[in-house]
Amino acid sequence: MKKTLDEASRRKWCVWVLCAGCVANLQANTSLQKHAAVFMAQQTAALQRDISQDATPAAVPKHNTTRPWVVLPAEATAYVLCYHQFDVPNNRYSISAAKLAEHIDWLRSNGWEIVPLETLVDFLEGRTDIPLKSVVITIDDGYASVYRRAWPVLRKKRVPWTFFVYTDFIGVGSAACTWAHLQELVKHGVNVQNHSKSHAFLNIRGERTEQQYIEFLYAELLQSKQELERRLGTKVWAYAYPYGAWSTQVRDLAVSLGYRALLTVDPQPAKATTSPTALGRVVITSDLQDKLAEILCERTLEVEVVEPLPHQILRQPVVLVRCRVISPSALQSVRIHVGVHKVVSLHYDSQTCELSAVVHVVHSTSQRITIEAEDLSTGRKVANSWQVEWRLPQVQEFSSRQPPTANQ
Ligand SMILES: [Zn+2]
């Protein structure tokens, strides 16, 4: 018998694992927590045994299967990194200038090419090509530590970068850049672009009337653009939403005002089909500063995803990931990450190239599932990834999430 459970019963079993017992009581009851942990471990082990038996050639998904599947081809991947401050102690949005230098060296020695934001936008508009592994460096807000600490590093290493500043902040207090700083940066070829007038949430109308809201949006999108262009003598064509917050109304207005690129803080990489007006960025905070290698995924591995499919909405915290590596097929050290966390319960069959893993999350989240390995023929790291959405019932969200507290 090749399978101990068919697909449907395995799915039912997952649901039963999660619904057994009232998870809402877990927070207050340590004894119950211990029982739940043991229970989950037992179920996961059983599920793994099942997966292990399941990973036979007959279980490999074929193109003529009726089961839905999606091929993630190898393709150019571009990440936009977003930094804020440098050498400011006890600040989650600050890293050291030495760490920035380390990032640049690591990127370059691992085959990533740092390209200007405009090159990426040209690529997304179909005007040019970019290297298969591209990174864009952006820095937000307009802090003086960028001018004093980061710029010397970026200048010395000849790194193209974009500075997104909000105009109400410039020249105000010792923590901010002055207009003279920005003029000097522009003179040396730094791309200074718009990060709003007041760093407000553009998507929140609040108590404003419709007319007041439109006037507010014009000030944040247009008045700030005109001030930057007037003071710096440059063309402003890119906008980084404060906090990454936007709405279709905000986006449409920004496009009508002449912006070619609109940037959020959703961490997904750009590919050829990405719109330059919905460009994600990875915010590098102090807790992520040593995880660059885990964050940047090369889409150099061709993968056939069986489940869960890209952007599938999942209602249960434990799911079975199944996919098949198409090329290159000779791999070693196959591993899987959810976000930056490595999944340990993995089975990879090198004969069939099928990978199965039990993935476990504890609260609603958007996560990228990343398959990584070493290509045996070249010795190089290869990877691919896709995003899935966990939307768990409220009662199961017993793990707290920290609300955003600082500028993004
Ligand atoms: Zn900001």
Q: How confident is the model at residue 223 (pLDDT cuts 50, 70, 90)?
A: very high
State residue 297's pLDDT score. Answer: 67
Centre of ligand 1 to C-alpha 407, Å, is 5
State residue 67's pLDDT score. Answer: 54
* Domain positions in the chain: 7-71+299-396, 75-295
Centre of ligand 1 to C-alpha 244, Å, is 8
Question: Is the model's pTM score more than 0.85?
Answer: no
Centre of ligand 1 to C-alpha 243, Å, is 6
- Residue 22 amino acid letter: C
Q: How confident is the model at residue 15 (pLDDT cuts 50, 70, 90)?
A: very low
Centre of ligand 1 to C-alpha 211, Å, is 26
Phi and psi at 13, nearest 5°, equal -60, -40
The total number of residues shown for the chain amounts to 408
Centre of ligand 1 to C-alpha 63, Å, is 46
CA distance linking residue 383 with residue 72, whole number of Å: 11
State residue 393's pLDDT score. Answer: 84
CA distance linking residue 39 with residue 17, whole number of Å: 8
As a whole number of angstroms, the longest Cα–Cα distance in the chain is 75
Centre of ligand 1 to C-alpha 201, Å, is 10
Centre of ligand 1 to C-alpha 195, Å, is 7
Any idea which architecture 7-71+299-396 has in CATH? Sandwich (2.60)
Lowest-pLDDT choice from 7-21, 114-128, 213-227, 393-407: 7-21
CA distance linking residue 8 with residue 386, whole number of Å: 24
Centre of ligand 1 to C-alpha 320, Å, is 38
Centre of ligand 1 to C-alpha 198, Å, is 10
In DSSP terms, 146 is beta-bridged to none
CA distance linking residue 210 with residue 208, whole number of Å: 6
CA distance linking residue 354 with residue 336, whole number of Å: 13
Centre of ligand 1 to C-alpha 58, Å, is 52
How much is the average pLDDT of 71-76? Answer: 75
Centre of ligand 1 to C-alpha 128, Å, is 29
pLDDT per residue as tens digits for the range 283-294: 999 988 888 877
How much is the average pLDDT of 326-344? Answer: 85
CA distance linking residue 68 with residue 198, whole number of Å: 47
* Other Cβ atoms within 10 Å of 172 Cβ, number: 12
Q: What is the average pLDDT score of the chain?
A: 82
Q: ω into residue 68 within 30 of 0, thus cis?
A: no
Centre of ligand 1 to C-alpha 94, Å, is 13
Centre of ligand 1 to C-alpha 103, Å, is 21
Q: How confident is the model at residue 94 (pLDDT cuts 50, 70, 90)?
A: very high
Centre of ligand 1 to C-alpha 242, Å, is 5
Q: Interhelix angle for 30-54 vs 7-19, to 10°? A: 170
Centre of ligand 1 to C-alpha 221, Å, is 14
Phi and psi at 11, nearest 5°, equal -60, -45
Centre of ligand 1 to C-alpha 246, Å, is 13
Centre of ligand 1 to C-alpha 202, Å, is 12
Centre of ligand 1 to C-alpha 82, Å, is 10
What does CATH list as the number for 75-295? 3.20.20.370
How much is the average pLDDT of 232-260? Answer: 97
Centre of ligand 1 to C-alpha 240, Å, is 8
Is the pLDDT at 17 greater than 70? The verdict is no
Q: What is the DSSP letter of 353?
A: T
How much is the average pLDDT of 223-231? Answer: 98
* Other Cβ atoms within 10 Å of 350 Cβ, number: 13
* Other Cβ atoms within 10 Å of 374 Cβ, number: 17
Contact 94, 286 (CB under 8 A): yes
Contact 199, 407 (CB under 8 A): yes
Centre of ligand 1 to C-alpha 89, Å, is 18
Q: How confident is the model at residue 343 (pLDDT cuts 50, 70, 90)?
A: confident
Residues near 23 by beta carbon (within 8 Å), at least 6 away in sequence: 36, 395, 396, 398
CA distance linking residue 116 with residue 138, whole number of Å: 9
Contact 263, 124 (CB under 8 A): no
State residue 295's pLDDT score. Answer: 80
CA distance linking residue 389 with residue 353, whole number of Å: 25
Which tokens hold the place of 144? 């003086």
Centre of ligand 1 to C-alpha 133, Å, is 26
